[in-house]
Amino acid sequence: MGSLDVITGILVKLLGLDPLNVPSPIVVLGFSITVILAAFWACMVWFILKLIGSMLTDAVEVTSSKRRIIIARGLTRHDYEQIRKGIRAWNLLVVRYGTESYLSGQAAEADRQIGRPRYNTLRMKLSHTGNGEVTLGWTLPLHRRLGTQFRCYIALRDKGADMLAGMLKHYDEIEVLAPEVEDPARIYFLLKRFPIVTTPEGIRQNVAYPE
C-alpha cells in the first residue's frame, strides 16, 4: 500500500481491492487522475500568480486622476431636473490602457497585456450650481505611461432615448453618439474636452494621455 500514490490508494479502498495485488487498469487510472490533478493545480497556481502580478502592475502604474468639468452653462434648474429624472446613472467605461496604434505596432508583449480590453464601469456624478452650470465629476484610472481610453454613457431610467438625447445636445461639452440599436437602454457620449481616437472597427472613444 505504501508504494501506491494517493489517488490509487483511494481507488483501492473505494473498490475494496487487495492493496498488494492492484490490477494494472486501476494503477493506470490512479496515475492518470494524479497527473490531471497535478496539471490542474499547476494551472491554477499560474493563473493566480498572473492575476496577482497584473494587480500589482496596475497598482504601481495606474493612478487615480480626479476630473471635474463644466458640461453646460445657463441651464435652469427645471431643465436640469427634466434630464436628471430620465437618467438612472452617469457612467464611465474604461475601455483599455494605451491606444491601438501603439499596442498594435510598437508595444512589447508586456504592454500588449496591459492594454487588453478592460470594460470596467465607474460611476460619474452630475451636479447643478446656482448660476446655471452643470458639472460632471469622476475619478479616472490613468495609466502613467500608456494613457487610458474610455467612453461615457448614461443608463436610462425608462424609454425615450431620442427625446433625452435631444436634450443632452444642449450640454456644450458633450457629443451624443448615434445609438447602435433601436430603443437603447444606454446613450453613449464623448467629452469634447478630451482627445478622440478611432479604433480599427470605427468606434470613436475618448483618450486621456499620461500627465
Phi, psi of 47 (to 5 degrees): -65, -45
Grid coordinates given for 32: 492518470
Find all residues with CB under 8 Å of 30, minimum gap 6, and list them. Answer: 4, 5, 7, 8, 9, 10, 11
Is this prediction's pTM over 0.85? no
Q: At 161, which helix (H) or strand (E)?
A: helix 161-168
Going residue by residue through the chain (211 aa), what tens digit of pLDDT does each one get? 446 677 787 877 877 777 777 777 877 877 788 888 888 888 887 767 666 666 666 667 889 889 999 988 888 888 888 888 888 899 999 999 999 888 888 888 888 888 999 999 999 999 988 788 889 999 999 999 999 999 999 998 876 677 777 778 778 889 999 887 777 888 899 999 999 999 888 899 999 998 7
